[in-house]
Structure 1
Amino acid sequence: MKKIKLAVVPGDGIGVEVVPHALKVLDTIAEMHGGLSFEYEHFDYGCDYYLKHGDMMAEDGMDRLGQSDSVFLGAVGDASKVPDHISLWGLLLKIRREFELEINVRPAKVFKGIQSPLRNPKGFDLIVVRENSEGEYSSVGGRMYQGDNEIAIQNNVFSKRATKQAMEHAFRLAQSRRRHVTSATKSNGIFHSMPFWDEVFKETAAEYEGINTVSQHIDALAATFVTHPERYDVIVASNLFGDVLTDIGAGIMGSIGIAPSANLNLNGKHPSMFEPVHGSAPDIVGKSIANPIGQIWTAKLLLDHHGEEEMGRLLLDTMEQVTADGFLTPDVGGDKQTDEVVDALIRQLKAKV
């Protein structure tokens, strides 16, 4: 029996609502598999925890999370209770940094039954691989002086190791897909880091025969994401560029509520973390209308990561069958509640045994 130990952190807002539903789906998958089981350890880390204890997690929180095979996160943040810079740096970004989650993977595709805002989405199916540890989000820089003389300096940091690692992951993904990798760059405007990025991309591409490549400036790439997303297979991007592109990807799918992500540790020293893109959505908390697809699609990425690609494909296909049958929450034009979508999904999964 293969056992996957998950550290479950529902976190804040709708994370508390959708995570239990996703765990029910994972348990259903395990029952169908026969040789797979999940062991859950639940952690109440988040903004409510901060209000009680003055920290977003326990003092030994990272050690305890690190004993798992993967972290399954719901959402982080509630600005009405705790400032965002405290909640994010105290939980989400702390996990990303200390567990060396240097790769962020976010797929986007035309999802059956969900209307894309694009007039003709042309069946797009793409994956963005985002360098997740440095680049434009490096905490290097500072501020000095006051008044009209005040200045702020933010340094972008690009190491060859992390840059090449992200690109290699993108190429490996492309080998099992449509064998095309696009590099997001801006070497016509950013003088040092982006020419460096281009050089490493060219060097990496030479190591992967049979993969077609193109480098595209981020402004044109963002526009083409909207006008012709079907052109893309795998895109590799820096921390900031990948952040922007993945939100566009969620938008053209029809809702950020269905978008998943995986934060991957590649050196084997720490667990990877899986979280939906949608955040805590405080405006719909308690209304039972949160879209569970983002969290469940995230569970599919978790299955893939642990070598259960067949079950992952089955889960994604069943999700699309359910949405195509009209089980949609209000964010994607439906009138179903969270549990109605999940119950339909579980029924469809069990029907395939």
Structure 2
Amino acid sequence: MPTDARAVERPPASTAAAELTLRPATEADTEEIIRLVRTSLGEFWNVALKLPFDIHYWSWKHLDNTFGTSPCLVAEAGGKIVGVRVFMRWQWQLGGRHVQAVRALDTATHPEWRGKGIFSRLTLALVEEMRREGVSFVFNTPNNLSRPGYLKMGWSSMGRVSLWIRPLRPIRMLRTLLSKSPPAPAAGAAPGGSRIGDLFREPRLESFLQSLGEGDGKLRTPRTREYLQWRYGDIPGGIYDAAWDLDGSEGAVVIFRRKNRGALSERRFCEILVGPGSGSVKRARTLLRELMANTGVDYASAMAGSAREQRLLLRSGFLPAPRLGPILTVRPLNPLPGGVDPLDRSRWRFSLGDLELF
């Protein structure tokens, strides 16, 4: 999967540095960039579902993003692109203000050019470009191989963002975890049976999303129809599904997908949107209960961004699993409104869909 998964590279040799040119990517570079990513990281962005890293995926992710076109730099040598670095634009809501950010995602270096510092040079150059543009911060969830490199380049670790887990087949989970030869996860439903397209045609969705308001003064992704449509409805492969019960401020919406983790299968609740009305929590609990019944998966996962969401998950049978969540790293660039510190975990309100890799 084309994410921030490259290991730390050694400082560039002077001869290699002299041969390289860093420049902004153009539309004419797209096919060559895609070939480089596939050569470096593999053919598929979702291996389990055999979804290819192709022009459709690239366009959805980096051109059609509701927050804007992704800034992208390439390293060129001898007229060929040997490295690429992309930051995906993201927007966070802070009360009534919008905070511009970018997420450090896709990066690739040609196998013959690894170890020459291309990853670091491209990343730092794009960081400075974003600083000049006025972007507030860069964030990502790098793996254990690439995280040390980001920390050396000025990122700060904010620790793990806790997952909440509910076992659905605990006996099978235990046997699988203890087995030396665990069985393969059961096959999931093929893409194509999703109702998520119906959600975006639901006339009551707009009023429900407006009832969510400006949040509680924490950094949160603004849940607009346009964002949800792009993020979950338009993604190639149709991997997300949805369930809802809408009645103005009393409504609830759940967006979810299936994911395999080794030999275990997961029902991942990426968004659990709960209206401010007194009856909305009950509606959300009912949706979750129905979505966890007879699913054919081993466990369910979610994130809780507020005390209200934590109570909802607890009453739905979830427990926090802080050692399983992704490790968030942030590189501040420019001041946030009101002097809010993006390195203060208490000022964030995440959903699982904000931080999962895609």
Q: Same fold (TM over 0.5)?
A: no
* Superposition TM-score tier, normalisation by shorter sequence: under 0.3
Greater helix percent: which structure? 1
TM-score (norm 2): 0.26
Greater strand percent: which structure? 2
TM-score (norm 1): 0.26
